[in-house]
Chain A
């Protein structure tokens, strides 16, 4: 069963051509570290988002490899130069092979 919840992405206002746009992206996911014990002392298996990527106009512009020390509901802030109006595709993959995606259109004036 997928442990992914809602994805959330915000871009900085009024992006200008050639200037970096601030991107804030989050997805709901427990990021179960594998180091916790349940209430009868059995270890809870690891279940984390291990890869997060962002593609801009079909080309990858950001890739993160996550380890269990990333907090639950992984949140990232990063930048991309607004070259042209195009779609940003965000993709999160967890270690069970589940995938969450989110699409945002970047309108450059």
Chain B
């Protein structure tokens, strides 16, 4: 036993396992947002106003290789005229540490209700977009995104 190479000595192996195990525990990210947080964020912004599915389109990759840079485009079906326009668009991530991503204010001077940006996603999850119209109605859609390498700093 005394002549065995160091890597075969059981005591050392156990110790290495313990260290590796400890390291893994340290790497595990702190809690990500639960769906209740998303519900709370929606309630904070919109109160109890009804949110209807439709009129809004979310373009986002189904498979995002890098969770740090996920391109997203939100388009709302609206003429963008004085009597009928999109007042704001809101973007949420169900399982990020913070569910809110972005809030955008628009008006008839935009001419087109379309906004694109790049977001961070910590893990595979659902992304939700909500549009507030000038008549006060709320419209929403959601998309599932599979994240290969999570944005470790969402």
Contact = CB atoms under 8 A, between A and B. Distances in A.
Interface of A: 19-20, 32-33, 35-36, 56, 59, 61-72, 74-81, 83
User: Main SS of the interface on chain A?
Assistant: strand
B110 A72 contact: no
Nearest to A26: B118
Given A62-B105, A69-B98, A35 B154 contact: yes
A33 to B, nearest CB: 5
Contacts of A83: 109
Interface residues of B, number: 33
Interface string B135-154: 00000000000000001111
Nearest to A61: B109
Contact of B115 (A20, A35, A59, A77): A77
A78 B73 CA distance: 10
Given A67-B100, A69-B98, A76-B117, A20 B111 contact: yes
Interface of B: 30, 68-70, 73, 93, 96-98, 100-107, 109-112, 114-121, 151-154
Closest 10 CB pairs of A and B: A20-B111, A81-B111, A77-B116, A79-B112, A71-B118, A65-B103, A36-B153, A63-B105, A69-B101, A20-B112
B68 A71 contact: yes
A109 to B, nearest CB: 17
A9 B142 CA distance: 30
Contacts of B152: 36
A71 B69 contact: yes
A70 B111 contact: no
B106 A69 contact: no
A33 B116 contact: no
A22 to B, nearest CB: 8
A70 B119 contact: yes
Given A67-B98, A78-B115, 14 more contacts: A35-B153, A35-B154, A36-B152, A62-B110, A69-B101, A69-B154, A70-B120, A71-B69, A71-B70, A72-B68, A75-B118, A78-B104, A79-B112, A80-B109
